[in-house]
């Protein structure tokens, strides 16, 4: 039985994983781990360190193929939204600005004075979240960036690495939709958007579907690393689409999902894009999925806030502030009924002290100020659970579909306290796990390309049979109805810190 190599790059770390199917079970072995930290340059701009990340991929390749000589395919998934440009000599122009770059946020109003959110939705179907690639591209044009002027090929993050390995320039569908420049009904670039915003389009590449084999690693890379060539498969390269592809669902229940990491991607899988304009004010939109299907979802600030809090607490209190410690403190602290709107823009920014930002928010909104680790963590976790509930209530009211079970996957599925509070807030059964759903989804596309499985449904059954899942049943429904009422009264949606 062949093995397969997975590269899963997130916004804070990455890893190489070797996978195989053995006795009907998916088996994984991590062969290389590495950090992914943006580099600050040019008066506060944040860039991804592409050369170092590519170097880590090559290290993972060499390690994995040295350890296992029967690896057949490899595939790369990353976060979405970010892209870079190649010049006329196929050299990467500069590094890649991160989706948290302030310029693209600052110019969003100007963009929408030309192309309204409603019109953009009708053309792309996607959510007008300011991290999406269209805002960066428009900012580059308005600021006359070198990349925009001289760029001959636009590649999303995984496309960049695939090009470096194979020499093939393609744009994979699920990640391309994260630009809001793709018509999700036709699954092709939407030229009307480029024309309306007076954007260049001659740097676009063919869009390919998940599961496409783009050929072997090129000779020069193989000789450098001392490895035999293996074929590169393009999976659902957007990590959210990969994660949803790997969700261990089976049966006929109507299910929703939260892919919970730095972001909380909350939504449902649909047969085709939902083009009802009533979802626009709720900040829901369509994003690319595999197998011809669609993801109707919303990007909600996930564990980013508590991750930033922990960074500050580690500086102040040292290594005792483990994730288990934070959750225990949150569970054991008395409830102060303090809440934040996790989607207020202030919480999506990088701060030297996120705990202080939370305290300032609570003070400004006339709430009790959480003063210690437990109170702050409790405030954050409950606010996340309530935001997820609010968001699913909004979208199910439009599509008239009740969610019978909610799958929480990704790193956040290990937080038992948060999973229980999500179940309580939504009054819905939560199935948590696996943690490695993105890796699973990536692997399934390699199995599809190899003909080992016939479709994603078969792959998801494999995922379910291979996963250690935890079920959280809703409890304390009367208490949580009171909590939701208090949250709705205290969180003034008009409050903004920008």
Just list the catalytic residues: 239
Q: Which of 80, 77, 72, 30 is nearest to 235 (CA)?
A: 77
Q: Residue 498 and residue 299: Cα distance in Å, rounded?
A: 19
Which 3 state secondary structure label does DSSP give 299?
A: strand
Q: Residue 11 and residue 79: Cα distance in Å, rounded?
A: 6
Which 3 state secondary structure label does DSSP give 53?
A: helix
Q: Residue 350 and residue 102: Cα distance in Å, rounded?
A: 11
- CB of 347 within 8 A of CB of 340? yes
Residue 375 CB: number of other CB atoms within 10 A? 23
- CB of 268 within 8 A of CB of 287? no
Tokens of 155: 């590649």
Sign of CA dihedral 280, 284, 290, 291: negative
DSSP class of 413: G
Tokens of 186: 């036709």
Residue whose pair of structure tokens reads 């990007």 in the numeric block: 299
Preceding omega of 434 cis (within 30 degrees of 0)? yes
Q: Residue 49 and residue 302: Cα distance in Å, rounded?
A: 24
Which H/E stretch holds residue 154?
strand 153-156
Which 3 state secondary structure label does DSSP give 332?
A: helix
């Amino acid at each position: 039985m062949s093995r397969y190599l997975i590269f899963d790059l997130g916004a804070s770390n990455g890893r190489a994983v070797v996978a195989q199917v053995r006795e009907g079970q998916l088996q994984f072995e991590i062969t290389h781990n590495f950090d992914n930290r943006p580099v600050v340059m040019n008066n506060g701009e944040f860039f991804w360190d592409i050369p170092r990340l590519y170097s880590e991929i090559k290290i993972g390749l060499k390690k994995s193929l040295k350890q296992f000589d029967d690896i057949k395919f490899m595939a790369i998934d990353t976060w979405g939204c970010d892209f870079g440009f190649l010049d006329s000599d196929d050299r990467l122009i500069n590094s890649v600005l991160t989706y948290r770059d302030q310029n693209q946020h600052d110019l969003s109003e100007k963009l929408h004075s030309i192309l309204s959110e409603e019109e953009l939705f009708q053309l792309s179907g996607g959510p007008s979240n300011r991290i999406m690639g269209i805002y960066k591209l428009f900012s580059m044009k308005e600021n006359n960036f070198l990349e925009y002027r001289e760029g001959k090929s636009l590649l999303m993050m995984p496309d960049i690495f695939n090009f470096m390995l194979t020499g093939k320039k393609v744009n994979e569908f699920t990640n391309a939709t994260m630009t809001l420049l793709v018509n999700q009904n036709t699954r092709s670039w939407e030229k009307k958007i480029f024309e309306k915003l007076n954007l260049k389009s001659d740097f676009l590449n063919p869009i390919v579907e998940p599961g496409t084999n783009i050929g072997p690693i090129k000779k020069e890379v193989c000789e450098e690393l001392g490895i035999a060539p293996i074929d590169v498969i393009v999976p659902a390269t957007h990590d959210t689409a990969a994660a949803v592809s790997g969700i261990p669902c089976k049966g006929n229940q109507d299910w929703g999902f939260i892919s919970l990491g730095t972001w909380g991607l909350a939504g449902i899988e649909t047969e085709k894009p939902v083009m009802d304009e009533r979802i626009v004010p709720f900040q829901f939109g369509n994003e690319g999925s595999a197998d011809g299907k669609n993801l109707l979802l919303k990007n909600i600030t996930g564990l980013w806030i508590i991750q930033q809090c922990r960074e500050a607490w580690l500086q102040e209190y040292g290594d005792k502030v483990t994730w288990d410690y934070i959750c225990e403190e949150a569970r054991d602290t008395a409830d102060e009924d303090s809440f934040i709107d996790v989607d207020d823009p202030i919480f999506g920014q990088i701060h030297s002290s996120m705990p202080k930002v939370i305290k300032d928010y609570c003070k400004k909104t006339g709430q009790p100020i959480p003063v210690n680790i437990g109170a702050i963590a409790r405030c954050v976790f409950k606010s996340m659970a309530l935001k997820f509930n609010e968001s699913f209530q909004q979208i199910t009211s439009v599509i008239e579909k009740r969610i019978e079970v909610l799958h929480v996957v990704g790193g956040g599925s290990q937080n038992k306290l948060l999973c229980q509070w999500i179940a309580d807030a939504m009054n819905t059964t939560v199935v948590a796990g696996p943690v490695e759903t993105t890796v699973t989804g990536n692997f399934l596309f390699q199995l599809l390309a190899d003909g080992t499985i016939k479709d994603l449904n078969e792959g998801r059954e494999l995922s379910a049979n291979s996963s250690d899942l935890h079920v959280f049943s809703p409890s304390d429904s009367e208490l949580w109805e009171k909590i939701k009422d208090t949250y709705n009264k205290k969180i003034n949606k008009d409050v903004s810190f920008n």
